[in-house]
Amino acid sequence: MPIQMLNEIEQEITRFLSDLIRINTTNPPGNETQAANFIAQYLAKDGFKPEIIESASGRGSVISRLKGSGEKPNLLLLSHLDVVAANPAEWTVDPFAGTVKEGYVYGRGAYDIKGMTAVEVLTLLLLKRNNIPLKGDVVLAATADEEKGGEEGAGYLLKHQKEKVWCPYVLNEGGGLAIPQKQGNVYPVQTAEKGILWFKIKAKGTPGHGSTPNTADNAIVRMNKVITKLGEYQPETMYVPTLRQFLSEVAKINPDLEASFSRLLGNPKQSEQILDELAKTNKALAEEIRPRTKTTITPTIIHGGVKENIIPSECEAVFDCRVLPGQSVDETFSLIKSLLKDVGMDKLSFEIIQMHDGNESTTQTPLYSTISGVLKEFEPNCGVTPTLTTGGTDSRFFRETGSVCYGFHPMRPDEPNDELEKRMHGIDERITIENLVFGTSIFYEAVKRFMT
Ligand SMILES: [Zn+2]
């Protein structure tokens, strides 16, 4: 039977998302329990017995399970309840009113990621309402705290209530928005994330009078050397499996890119020059690929000095470093220190702000083939590709504990993709009702096929 658009859920999912947006879960402080309660009560009307687990007062996550026969591995439908702040003065609508107009649901979280929570809740409800004979459990978890790193949400659940939430397969945010290409849409499935190494360096010196620079040891000058050294560092290029597949899948759908992508694939050592060339005609794409081929180290904060005529004895800077899956953040940190040997290690001190390794799931699984099969059946000329994101999601907690985890919130662009990306965490965040129905139709079909 061809895949049906589930138009009959249009009103229900619109209402559900609008109501969920009206519960303000800006993190900090989060206050996700109220949203967790709303979802729990909603599911209870259909006979589910959801559970709310709080990591601290008000920091609730909701979990619900639909039992299967045990013949297949369990699947977790994951999303988060918290959102980032929104400044109402910048918006054309109240970001927490759940406004529905001109075919859109507006509000903070519509796109990241309450819209996906709605798709997952509707999927769970439809599996039950349609009496689908599941061969494994389908578990729903909408969690707290993702926007601040997830330790109080997904991280907490895996640490303290693992048996209730852990599944061998996980579907989460991070991918799914089609990228239009010459011969059709390419649907990305997020399979990998870079690791994070945020660190602070303090440079010390000796103070002195600004009019006699040689009598002092200027900490700003030392920090300048640090930034120059780290900026000149040319990390080795490495293509993780996800990037290799991305380059070959996108080239299949867009023959214009085939030449430069096959050169990239064949010559990892020349990737910088090839990307520089590509940037001349397609800067956005080149700069999207570049950080996915190597470690990046970016200075993001600097402080030093107190007065016009005092040579400062202290200067500190913060760096945002990202490593590829498979590279160790510990080893990267040691390497960074070794690069700075000549700057005077006795005058530098290092502090780690946050660190964790990258992660990657293979595409060689029945879940990936199911997702790909459903998309290609629905949209025969489309492509499907794994993607590596430079930022992270809660998927890392699950990949670190052995789950196969895919970022897949199916959507079709209803305005240019760069405009859409701006709305995420930006102004007038919104999602089309059409995308809510489309997303649920694809998502439901993929889950149903995978679990039966
Ligand atoms: Zn998110």
Question: According to the 3-state scheme, what is the secondary structure of 137-174?
Answer: CEEEEEECCHHHCCCCCHHHHHHHCHHHHCCCEEEECC
Q: Which tokens go with 167?
A: 């599944």
In a domain, 1, yes or no: no
CATH number of 46's domain: 3.40.630.10
* Phi, psi at 62, each rounded to 5°: -115, 140
What distance in angstroms lies between residue 152's CA and the mean position of ligand 1's atoms?
15
233 and 158 inside one domain: no
Cis bond leading into 29, ω under 30°?
Answer: yes
Q: For residue 97, what pLDDT is reported?
A: 98
**73 CA → ligand 1 middle, Å:** 26
Helices (H), 114-270: 114-129, 154-160, 162-165, 219-232, 241-253, 258-266
Cα 262 to ligand 1 centroid, rounded to whole Å: 33
- 8 C-alpha vs ligand 1 centroid, how far in Å? 27
For residue 201, how far is its CA from the centre of ligand 1 (angstroms)?
A: 30
Check residue 391 and report its DSSP letter: S
Neighbouring residues of 416: CB distance < 8 A, sequence distance ≥ 6: none
207 & 230 share domain: yes
8 A C-beta contact, residue 128 and residue 46: yes
CB 296, CB 323: distance < 8 Å: no
The CATH number given to whatever domain includes residue 297 is 3.30.70.360
Separation in Å, CA 168 to CA 70, 139, 365, 398: 13, 11, 11, 9
State both tokens at 314: 């202290």
Cα Rg, the chain, nearest whole Å: 24
Instruction: List pLDDT tens digits, range 291-317.
Output: 999 999 999 999 999 999 999 999 999
CB 218 within 8 A of CB 205: yes
C-alpha of 288 from chain center: 15
Q: How many domains does the chain have?
A: 2
Structure tokens at 381: 């000329």
Question: What is the CA(174)–ligand 1 centre distance, in A?
Answer: 7
CA of 202 to the centre of ligand 1 (A): 33
> Ligand 1: distance of its center to the CA of 246 in Å?
22
Q: ∠ CA 104-7-46 to the nearest 5 degrees?
A: 100
- Percent of the chain residues past pLDDT 70, beyond the cut: 100
Measured at the alpha carbon of residue 420, what is the angle toward residues 188 and 253, in degrees to the nearest 5?
35
**Is the same domain home to 182 and 200?**
no
Ligand 1 geometric centre to CA of 83 (Å)? 7
pLDDT below 70 — which residues of the chain?
A: 1
Distance 173 CA to ligand 1 centre (A): 6
What pTM, to 2 d.p., does this model score?
0.94
For residues 38 and 123, state if they share a domain: yes
Ligand 1 centroid from CA 146, angstroms: 7
**What is the distance in A from the centroid of ligand 1 to the CA of 384?**
22
Residue 203 lies in a domain: yes
Q: How many angstroms separate the alpha carbon of residue 392 from the centre of ligand 1?
A: 9
Residue 2, in any domain of the structure: no
Question: How many angstroms is it from 288 CA to the middle of ligand 1?
Answer: 19
Within this chain, do residues 327 and 246 fall inside the same structural domain, yes or no? yes
Find out whether 92 and 82 touch, Cβ atoms under 8 Å. Answer: no
Range of the domain at 81: 7-190+359-451
Span from the CA of 278 to the centroid of ligand 1 (angstroms): 30
Q: 403 and 167 in contact (C-beta within 8 Å)?
A: yes
Six-digit token pair at 139?
Answer: 């578990």
Identify whether 53 is part of a domain.
yes
Per-residue confidence (pLDDT) for residue 385, from 0 to 100 = 97
Report CA(69)–ligand 1 centroid distance (Å). 32
Does residue 248 share a domain with residue 339? yes
Task: Identify any residues that bridge with 334 across adjacent strands, giving them in sequence order.
Answer: none
